[in-house]
Structure 1
Amino acid sequence: MRSPSTSTDLRASHRARCQAVSSSSRGGAGAVGHAAIQLGVWAGATVITTVSSDAKADLARAAGAHHVVQYPDDALADRIREIAPDGVDHVVEVAPAQNAALDVEVLANHGSIAYYANNNGDDFSVPIVPSFIKNARWQGLLLYTVGPDALNAAAEDITAALRDGALPVGEDAGLPLTWFPLEETAAAHDAVEGGATGKVLIRVSDETLV
Structure 2
Amino acid sequence: MRAVVYTQTGDSSVLEVVEREPADPGRGEVRVRIVRAGVNPTDWKFRAGGMGELAFPEVVPGQDGAGVVDAVGPGVEGLAVGDRVWTMLAQHQRPGGTAQELVVLPVEHLTALPEGASYDVGASLGVPAITAHRALTTSEGGPDRLAPGALAGRTVLVAGGAGAVGNAAIQLARWAGATVIATVSSDDKARLATAAGAHHTVNYREGDTVDAVRGLAPDGVDIVVEVAPAQNLRDDVRLVKPRGTVAIYANNGGDEVTLSIRETFSTNARFQWVLLYTVGQAALRAAADDVAAAVADGAFGVGEDHGLPLHHFPLEQAAEAHAAVEAGAVGKVLLDVSDA
Q: Deviations over 1:152-202 (max 9, x none)?
A: 222222122122111100011100000011122222122222221001111
Looking at structure 2, the residues matched to 189 and 14 of structure 1 have their Cα atoms a distance apart, in angstroms, of 35
Q: Identify which of 17, 24, 31 aligns with 2:154.
A: 17
TM-score relative to the length of structure 2: 0.56
Cα displacement string for residues 125-178 of structure 1 (whole angstroms, at most 9, x for unaligned residues): 233222221111000011111122322222222122122111100011100000
**Relative to structure 1, is the Cα distance of residues 120 and 60 closer, same or farther in structure 2, using a 3 angstrom cutoff?**
closer
Query: In structure 2, what is the equivalent of residue 94 of structure 1?
Result: 227
Q: What per-residue deviation string (whole Å, max 9, x for no partner) do you get for residues 99-135 of structure 1?
A: 0001111111111000001336611223322222111
SS in 2 for 1:5: helix
Query: Is the partner of 1:50 in helix, strand or coil?
Result: strand
| Contact 2:195/2:307, CA 8 A, preserved across alignment | yes
2:196 & 2:228 partners in 1: Cα distance?
20
Q: How does 1:194-205 map to 2 (within 5 A)?
A: 194-205=327-338
Aligned to 1:8: 137
% of aligned pairs identical?
Answer: 58
1:38-187 mapped onto 2 (5 Å cutoff): 38-119=171-252, 122-187=255-320
Distance 1:152 1:200 in 2: 24
Q: Does 1:188 align with 2:321?
A: yes
Residues matched between the structures, number: 200
User: Which amino acid letter does the alignment assign opposite residue 21 of structure 1?
Assistant: V
Structure 1: gaps of 5 or more residues: none
Is contact 1:175–1:198 with CA below 8 Å preserved after alignment?
yes
Is the partner of 2:276 in helix, strand or coil?
coil
Look up the SS of the partner of 1:161 in the other structure: helix
Distance 1:150 1:174 in 2: 26
Structure 1 vs Structure 2 CA RMSD:
1.8
Q: Which has the larger radius of gyration?
A: 2
TM-score when scaled to structure 1?
0.88
d(CA) in 1 for partners of 2:266 and 2:175?
30
Indicate how the Cα distance of structure 1 residues 149 and 126 shifts in structure 2: closer, same or farther if over 3 A, else same: farther
Kept in 2: contact 1:18–1:90 (CA 8 A):
yes
* Higher normalized strand content (fraction of residues): 2
CA distance in structure 1 between the aligned counterparts of 2:269 and 2:220, rounded to whole angstroms: 12
Q: Which runs of 5+ in 2 are unaligned?
A: 1-132
Higher mean alpha-carbon deviation, 11-20 vs 94-103, is at: 11-20
Greater share of residues in helix: 1
